[in-house]
Amino acid sequence: NLNDLKKFYKNRGVSKSEIIPSAWEASDFFKNVGERDRHFYFLAAPILDSSGNITGAVETVQDITRRIMAESELRESQERYRILTEQVADGVALVLEGKLNFVNEAFAGIFGYKSPEELVGVAVVTLIRHDDKQIYQRLEADFKAGRFAKKSLELRCNRADGSEFWIEAHNNVIAWSGTPALLATVRDISERKHRELANREETHKLRNENVRLRSQLKDRY
């Protein structure tokens, strides 16, 4: 009960509440409360008389052990995920609500950034070349509507220095902290795409040349 908690709370730091004016709050860890180790959140609001003098206080106590444990487990999960993805040669990104929640070193390198931290919180659509933005936006709309189907995409993107390059992205839907998220593995395919485009252009030239020669032969004979 609250009386049992007072002796544990003595001399612990508090701060001004951002929720209620003139109130104070604190959260801390307490051992062996009700035969369990617990995390508590305290909020103390003063009771004032008509002259503005403090005559008492209303204090609320909330057991936030589950939330703290969930946050701790999430941090541990993120750390394990980070360690795992650093062993992968491909770029890996976790997308939540259209923004990069996590990227590995390989992903940052592909996009020309020095560290993954530079990309965390960045909207994915800003990394995509203007002409291909609609391709990604359609995928994002399908994902939000629960009809996600297209798992592989080829897109033109922007490096940190503004140069254009091609990526191939394989996307999967996963649950992250109880929220649907996109897990994407990314590979730079610029060299392959340039070969494909060059071959396509050469084929187009040969086809036109063939038509021209056939026309000349027809006129001659």
- The rounded distance, in Å, linking the Cα atoms of 158 and 163 is 6
Whether pLDDT at 78 is above 70: no
Give the residue-averaged pLDDT of 51-69.
76
Structure-model confidence comparison of residues 47 and 108, the more confident one: 108
Predicted confidence at residue 6, as pLDDT, reads 47
Strand partners, 168: 154, 187
Average pLDDT, the chain: 79
Query: Percentage helix, strand, coil, to 5, in the chain?
Result: 40, 35, 25
* Beta carbons of 168 and 187 less than 8 angstroms apart: yes
Q: 169-183: per-residue pLDDT in tens?
A: 999 888 877 788 898
* Beta carbons of 91 and 103 less than 8 angstroms apart: yes
Q: 85-112: per-residue pLDDT in tens?
A: 666 778 999 999 999 998 999 999 999 9
- Fill in the DSSP letter of residue 128: B
pTM of the model: 0.57
Q: What is the DSSP string of 142-195?
A: HHHTT-----EEEEEEE-TTS-EEEEEEEEEEEEETTEEEEEEEEEE-HHHHHH
Structure-model confidence comparison of residues 182 and 216, the more confident one: 182
- The rounded distance, in Å, linking the Cα atoms of 75 and 67 is 12
**3-state SS class at 203:** helix
Q: 112-131: per-residue pLDDT in tens?
A: 999 999 999 999 999 999 98
155 by Cβ neighbours in 10 Å (0-12 / 13-18 / 19+) ranks as buried
Q: 134-154: per-residue pLDDT in tens?
A: 988 888 888 888 777 668 889
